[in-house]
Amino acid sequence: MKRAKVTVVGGGFVGSTAAHWIASKELADVCLIDLNGEMAQGKALDLAQSGPVEGFDAQLTGGSNYEASAGSDVVIITAGLPRKPGMSRDDLLITNSKIVRECASNVAKHSPNAVLIIVSNPLDAMCHVALEASGFPKNRVIGMAGVLDGARFRTFIAEALQVSVEDVQAFVFGGHGDTMVPMPRYVTVGGVPLPQLLPKEKIDALVKRTASGGAEIVGLLKTGSAYYAPSASAVQMAEAIIKDKKRVLPCACFLDGEFGVKGLFVGVLAKLGSKGIEQIMPLELNADEQAAFKKSASAVQELVDVLNKNK
């Protein structure tokens, strides 16, 4: 049986850590692409040499030439400048759009049947850039945001209740940023609805912390942004696609009228399988949730409008 192949574009902390997760899980062979080809090659070689110690078999290659990525099943794009203290995701917009455009177009030339997972920020806007540059259908361009934001929400809930994160089910809707929409009404802990376990003010505090979860880490690191959880989240999505697992995960998807939004990438629940996004999952939103979702979509639209003006 032919082993799957995943290309990770961007050899920084997020990209190289994603390569580590993929190889250690024996999920696929990995190609690491970066402008600094020797750095990518060195990281791939270093990771390959950990295989005999950790007991995994995966072919790892690295470089700057996209020809090495040919035939990839999934491509994870992490390339771009990271956030620094005091910098919003939006500050990265124009610079990273140029980087992601180049990455996506090169990937499409060599892996025309791949599914793209976008990690670069500002996430939702970069999905638009990748969709346009690749020419791929909407089901094969997906943004990694909801898995990460949901993981942060789940972590904070488990911490507050002193329970295992494995027993907390939670997800986040909307754009990846300050306007994201955590959905406490749908959170369960061991099957028990969260509102039965915590008072509203405590839940509101957890929601607020989730929305600023990335900024909290940026503030602590001082010189960069999160990479363990973002890379693990992207790899969970890649695994669902490669193994055709039909997993229902929160992802940034191109909406075509769902939830009252048309022509935008916004975070919703989606079924992921070998074709990429195989279904946008329906969900009933109450008036407050719908209003918050609409506000979040409007924030994404503002970024897309800026991109369109700067073409």
| Catalytic machinery residues | 176
Question: Cα-flanking dihedrals φ and ψ of residue 131, to 5°?
Answer: -60, -45
CA proximity to 290, closest of 186, 183, 195 = 183
Closest listed residue to residue 235, CA positions, set 82, 103, 62, 119: 119
Question: Strand 5-9 relative to strand 29-33: parallel, antiparallel, unpaired?
Answer: parallel
H or E element that contains 16: helix 13-24
DSSP string, 133-182: HH---GGGEEE--HHHHHHHHHHHHHHHHT--GGGEE--EEB-SSTT-EE
Token pair belonging to 129: 């850039």
What Å distances lie between residue 306 and 90, 177, 311, CA to CA?
10, 17, 9
CA–chain centroid gap for 75, Å, is: 12
> DSSP for 233-300?
HHHHHHHHHHTT--EEEEEEEEEESGGG-EEEEEEEEEEEETTEEEEEPP----HHHHHHHHHHHHHH
